[in-house]
A and B are shown apart, each in its own frame.
Chain A
Amino acid sequence: MRNNKHKKKKLRIMLILLVILIILILIFLFGHRKEKIKHEGRPAGTEQVAGRIAEIKMKPVTLFFLSESDGLLHAEERQIPESDLNGEARAVVEELIKGPQTGLMAVIPENTRLRQLFVTADGLAYVDLSRQVTEANFYGSSGEMAVVYSIVDSLTYNFKSIKKVSLLVEGNERETLGGHVDLSNPFVPDYSLIAR
C-alpha cells in the first residue's frame, strides 16, 4: 500500500516535471528556429541571380522628360535589360541622363554621370550623381524642379518598391543643386509636374 502510494506520488511529480520540461524545450527550440531562418535568408537570393544569366530579357520602362511646349514632364517608353532592382534603377537614371529619343528635352545637365545607385530595404533609393549636375545656367526654381522630379518620378513610377529618392552629389549630401530645392530630405514623388 505504502509503496503503491509512493509510486503514484512519484508518477504525478514526474508528469508535472515532464510537462514543464517539454514546454521549456519547445520554447528553446522555437527561439533557435527563428534565428536559423534569418541566416538561411541569404543564399536564396544568390540562386535567383544565378538563374538570370542564361537569358537577357528586356523590360519596358517609362521615363519622364521635359516638354518644350508646356514645361511639364512627359512620358517616354524605353526598353532596358531585366536585372535586379538596383541594376534596373541604375539603367533608368542612365537613360534619363542620355536624354530623350522623341521630341522631348533632356533635363539633367550634360556630362553628368551616375556614380552610384542603391535601394535600401525600406525603399529609399540613393542616387549619387557627379558634380556636373550642379553646373547649369538654367538652375532657376523651374529648372531645378525638373531635374529633381524627372529622376524622382521616373524611379518611383517604374519601381513599386522605391518609395523615396535621395539625391547625392559626388557621394555627399548637398543642400541644393543650385540654391532652391532642398536635397536634405528624401523626395516622395510629385506627379503634379507630369502632363496628363
Chain B
Amino acid sequence: MECLRTRVRFPPPPPFFYKVELIDKIMSRFIKIFATIAISLILVSAQGFPLKGAQAAAKTIPVIKVTVEDSSQASVVRISGSSNLAYNLKKSSDSLIITFRALSGLKLEKSTFTSQIIKSIDLAKSPEAYLLIIKTGSPDFSFTTSARKNPFELTLNIKLKNVAAAREGQPAETVAKTSPSRNGESSSGASSPPADRVSQEVISGHPRQKDVKTIVIDPGHGGIETGAKGNYGTLEKDVTLAVAKKLKERIEGELKYRVVMTRDSDVVVALDRRAAVANNNKADVFISIHANGSRRTNARGSETYFLSLNATDEEARRLAYFENNSGELENRLGEQDFDDLKLILWDMAQSAYIKQSSLLAEFVQNQLNQFLSTQNRGIKQAPFKVLTGVACPAILVEVAFITNPEEEKKLQSEDFQTQVAEAIYRGLSGYFDLYEKP
C-alpha cells in the first residue's frame, strides 16, 4: 500500500482551477487523489484474480468418440478425438487402459454397442490423467493398434486368444468333470495366469468354465513368516499348509470345483499377492486358513472372520488422496499416478462382498462347531490385510489356538486336520448350494 501511494504522480492542476474559490480547489484536488487511489486499488485487486475463467473458456474440452464393431473373430474399437491427444496404452488383466494426460477435461461420447469381446468402455479420472478403460471378458486377449494424428484416431483390434477353446469348452463340460486326463491337458492352456503376475499358485482340477466354481485356498504364513508358535514348537505355517492340502484333496475328490492354492510349499507369499491369486483366477470364494495365537495360554476355540470395513474412513482416505494430488497436476508424468489409482480400487475390492462373506463365514463356522470338539468362538470381523484386496466372498478361518498346549496337540494330529478340512468343505458346499438352488 505504502509504495503504491508514493508511485502515484499528481499532474499540476490545469489553469482552470486557479480561478475558482479555495474550497473548490481543495475539493477537486481531493477528487483527483481519491480517484487515482481508487483506480490503483481496483487495478491491484484485479491483479489478485488471474483470469482463470477466461482461460478455461478459451480452451474447449476435448471430446473422444468411441465406436465398437464386431467381426466374427475380433472387435474393432475406434477412438477418435476432436484435437490431438497424447496417450499411453496398457494392458491390465482383462482390460485395456488408455491414459490421456495433462488435460483440463475430457468428454466421452460412445454409441451403444453389443460385442462378444468387449464388456464395457468407461472413462475414469485420476488426479493426473483420464483413463479410458476397455473391459473384455477375459484376460486372454491380444490386440493390435493403429493410430493417426490430426485428427486423432486410435483403432484397436482386439481378439480373444481362446475363442475357439471357449466355444468347444461348453459342450465338453460333462466330459471334463469325469475324465481327469482331459482336465490336465486343457487346464494348462486355459487357466495360465497373466504374464505380469507370475506367482507360485498351483492350479489343478478343471479347466475354467462358467459353471465350475473356483475356490482359492490360502494357507496362512509361510517361509520365514512362521506365524504363531506353540509351546511344543508347532508352527502355524505348517499347520495351515497341512489343513489346506487336506481341504484341497477333499474338494477335488468331489470333482465339482476347481482349486487354486496361494502356496503349496513352505515359502513366503506377500499378503497382497495372495489376494491377487484369487482375483487373477476369478475366484468364487477365498478361504484363508490360520491357527490362532494369544498371550493367554488358556485361550481356546475356533472362529471365522470376515473383513471389517470402516466405510467412512475409506471414503475419507480416497478423498484426501485426490485433494492432496490435484495441486501438482500438469507437469508430472509417469506411471506412478496410474498405479496409485489402481491401488485405491484394489483396496476397496472386498467391500463389495462383505455380505456374502459374512454368509460364507456363517456356513463354515456352523460346520466347524459340528465337526470339531473345539469351543465355538463365533463369527467375527477384523481388518485383516489378506482379505482387503480380494474381489469375491472371502473369509479367514482361525482353527483352534496353537498357543494352547492342549489344542496345539490337536492341531498336530492328522485326524484333527482332516476333520477341519471336512468341516470347511461342508460349509463351502452349503454356501454354494444356497446359490445354486433355482
Partners in one complex: yes
Assess whether B73 is interfacial by the CB under 8 Å rule. Answer: no
Interface residues of A in 129-150 (CB under 8 A from B): 137-143, 145-146
Question: What CA separation (Å) do A180 and B37 show in the bound complex?
Answer: 68
User: Using Cβ atoms and an 8 Å threshold, which residues of chain B touch A182?
Assistant: 383-385, 388
Known: A14-B27, A18-B34, A181-B383. A140 touches B227 (CB 8 A): yes
Question: B296 touching A68 by the CB < 8 A rule?
Answer: yes
B313's contact among A24, A175, A185, by CB below 8 Å, is which? Answer: A185
Contact mask A36-54 → B, CB, 8 Å, 1/0?
0000000000000000000
Q: Which of A5-13, A55-63, A78-86 has 4 or more CB atoms under 8 Å from chain B? A: A5-13
Does B81 touch A at the CB level, under 8 Å? no
Interface residue stretch chosen among B100-108, B206-214, B286-294? B286-294
Q: Smallest CB–CB gap between A103 and chain B, Å? A: 13
Collect the chain A residues with CB atoms within 8 Å of residue B236's CB: 140
Chain B interface size range: 35 or more
Contacting residue for B34 out of A3, A14, A146, CB 8 A? A14
- Asked if A158 lies at the interface with its beta carbon under 8 angstroms from chain B, I say no
- Say whether B142 faces chain A, with CB atoms less than 8 Å apart: no
Across the interface, A141 reaches (CB within 8 A) one of B41, B290, B308, namely B290
User: Which B residue sits closest to A187, measured CB to CB?
Assistant: B383
Complex partner residue of B228 from A27, A140, A145, CB under 8 angstroms: A140
A142 to B301 Cα, complex, angstroms: 11
Of chain B, the residue at the smallest CB distance from A3 is B20
Q: Nearest A residue to B299 by beta-carbon distance?
A: A71
User: Is B153's CB within 8 Å of the partner chain A?
Assistant: no
Q: Does B9 contact A (CB under 8 A)?
A: no
Query: Are A175 and B385 in contact, with the CB atoms below 8 A?
Result: yes
Which residue of B24, B294, B385 is within 8 Å of A143 (Cβ)?
Answer: B294
Q: What are the residues of chain B within 8 A of A28 when measuring CB–CB?
A: 1, 41, 45
Chain A: CB-nearest residue to B230: A137
Most A CB contacts (10 A, CB to CB) among B34, B225, B290, B314 go to B34
Nearest Cβ on chain B to A134's Cβ, whole angstroms: 11
- Across the interface, do A140 and B385 meet the contact criterion of CB distance under 8 Å? no
**A7–B295 touching, CB < 8 Å:** no
Do residues B35 and A140 form an inter-chain contact, with CB atoms below 8 A?
no
Number of A-B contacts (CB under 8 A): 133
Q: Which chain A residue has the least Cβ–Cβ distance from B387?
A: A182
A180 touches B296 (CB 8 A): no
B426 proximal to A (CB < 8 A) = no
- Return chain B residues, CB-CB under 8 Å to A143: 228, 292-295, 403
Can you name the residue of chain A whose Cβ is closest to the Cβ of B307?
Answer: A182
Complex interface: chain A residues within 8 A of B402 (CB): 140
**Given A140-B401, A175-B271, do A10 and B28 touch, yes or no (CB 8 Å)?**
yes
Give the secondary structure class of B's interface: mixed
Docked pose: A142 CA to B401 CA in angstroms: 9
Q: Mark B218-246, 1 if CB is under 8 A from A, else 0.
A: 00110001011100000010000000000
- Say yes or no: B295 contacts A188, CB within 8 Å: no
Interchain CA distance A162-B308 in the complex, whole Å: 21
Enumerate A143-161 residues with CB–CB distance to B below 8 Å. Answer: 143, 145-146
Give min CB distance, B390 to chain A, whole Å: 13
Chain B 125-155 interface 0/1 with A at a Cβ cutoff of 8 Å (1 = within): 0000000000000000000000000000000
The answer, among A146, A183, A185, for a CB contact under 8 Å with B294, is A146
Q: Which residues of A contact B37 (CB under 8 A)?
A: 21
- Bound Cα distance A74, B292 (Å): 21
Give chain B residues whose Cβ lies under 8 Å from the Cβ of A195. none
Q: Whole-angstrom distance from the CB of B320 to the nearest CB of chain A?
A: 10
**Which A residues touch B220, using CB under 8 A?**
179
Contact A105 B295 (CB under 8 A): yes
| Binary per-residue interface labels of chain B (171-213) against chain A in the complex, 1 for a CB within 8 Å, 0 otherwise | 0000000000000000000000000000000000000000000
Interface centre among A14, A141, A164, A185 (most CB of B within 10 A): A141
Report B365-387 CB contacts with A as 1/0, cut-off 8 Å: 00000000000000000111110
A141–B384 CB distance below 8 A? yes
Query: Cβ of B24 and Cβ of A185 under 8 Å apart?
Result: no
B388 lies within 8 A of A138 (CB):
no
Q: Which residues of B have CB within 8 Å of A25? A: 41
What are the residues of chain B within 8 A of A24 when measuring CB–CB?
Answer: 38, 41-42, 45
For the complex, what is the distance from the CA of A176 to the CA of B42, rounded to whole Å?
58
Smallest beta-carbon distance A188→chain B, Å: 5
Residues of B302-339 at the interface with A, using a CB-CB cut-off of 8 Å, are: 305, 308, 310, 313-314, 317
Give Cα distance in the complex from A25 to B37, angstroms.
10
Q: How close is B402's CB to chain A, nearest CB, in angstroms? A: 7
B268 CB, nearest partner CB in chain A, Å: 10
Cα–Cα distance between A6 and B19 once the two chains are bound (Å):
13
For the complex, give the distance between the alpha carbons of A196 and B220 in Å.
32
A111 at the interface (CB under 8 A from B): no
Interface assignment of B396: CB less than 8 Å from any CB of chain A: yes
Please tell me if B30 contacts chain A, counting CB pairs below 8 Å. yes
List of B residues within 8 angstroms of A138 by Cβ? 228, 293-295, 403
- Judging by beta carbons under 8 Å apart, are B227 and A142 in contact? no
Task: Check if B298 is an interface residue, CB within 8 A of chain A.
Answer: yes
- Distance in Å: Cβ of B210 to nearest Cβ of chain A: 33
- Give chain A residues whose Cβ lies under 8 Å from the Cβ of B295: 66, 105-107, 138, 143, 146
What residues of chain A have their CB less than 8 Å away from a CB belonging to chain B? Answer: 3, 6-7, 10-11, 13-14, 17-18, 20-21, 24-25, 27-28, 66, 68, 71, 105-107, 137-143, 145-146, 164, 175-176, 178-188, 190
Could you list 8 A-B pairs, sorted by A, with CB under 8 Å?
Answer: A14-B34, A18-B34, A142-B294, A143-B228, A175-B385, A179-B225, A182-B384, A185-B310
Task: Name 12 extra pairs, CB < 8 A, besides A142-B401, A178-B227, A179-B386.
Answer: A17-B35, A27-B45, A139-B227, A140-B236, A141-B293, A141-B384, A164-B313, A179-B271, A180-B290, A181-B383, A185-B313, A190-B308
